[in-house]
Amino acid sequence: MIHTDKIRVYYADTDAYGVVWHGAYLRWLEAGRIEYTDKVLGLDLKKMQEDGCILPVVELNIKYKLSAKLDENLLLDTEVAELRPSAIVFKQTLKNEDTGVVNIIGTVTCVAVDTRTNKMIRRLPDFIVEAYNKQNAVTV
């Protein structure tokens, strides 16, 4: 299942040349993953943390295709590309809402970490796998 977020490019997102600074894309990708986890999967990240599990990024790959510019309206599509026994791989695509032209394509890998020990959990907790399977995102 794909979740789409709308993004407007503000002045604070741009550099001196009026194009989106490369680091701004990372904030948008993170927001897209949080919205996907909350709205599609029904998982509350704050509650997960309180229950002893966080999902930090361990690998990030972004292909910059075309810079977004000030005041453009963008669409960010987020989906699960792969659910591994110990990791979740998200695929995210950011494109111009008016033209459909793709700005970036990213893949982001997150793993489960136990907040009590700060060690990677060898397998994703069952409640995460069940939430993904329930939404027919992907299967392990």
15 assigned to active site: yes
Task: Please check whether residue 106 is in contact with residue 15, taking contact to mean a CB–CB distance below 8 angstroms.
Answer: no
User: What is the distance between the alpha carbons of residues 101 and 2, in angstroms, rounded to a whole number?
Assistant: 18
The string of DSSP codes covering 65-121 is: -S--BTT-EEEEEEEEEEE-SSEEEEEEEEEETTT--EEEEEEEEEE-EETTTTEE-
Catalytic residue among 15, 44, 71, 98, which?
A: 15
User: What is the distance between the alpha carbons of residues 136 and 128, in angstroms, rounded to a whole number?
Assistant: 13
Estimate to the nearest angstrom the gap between the alpha carbon of 124 and the chain centroid: 17
Pick the closest to residue 90 from 117, 113, 119, 111 (CA basis): 111
Residues with catalytic function: 15
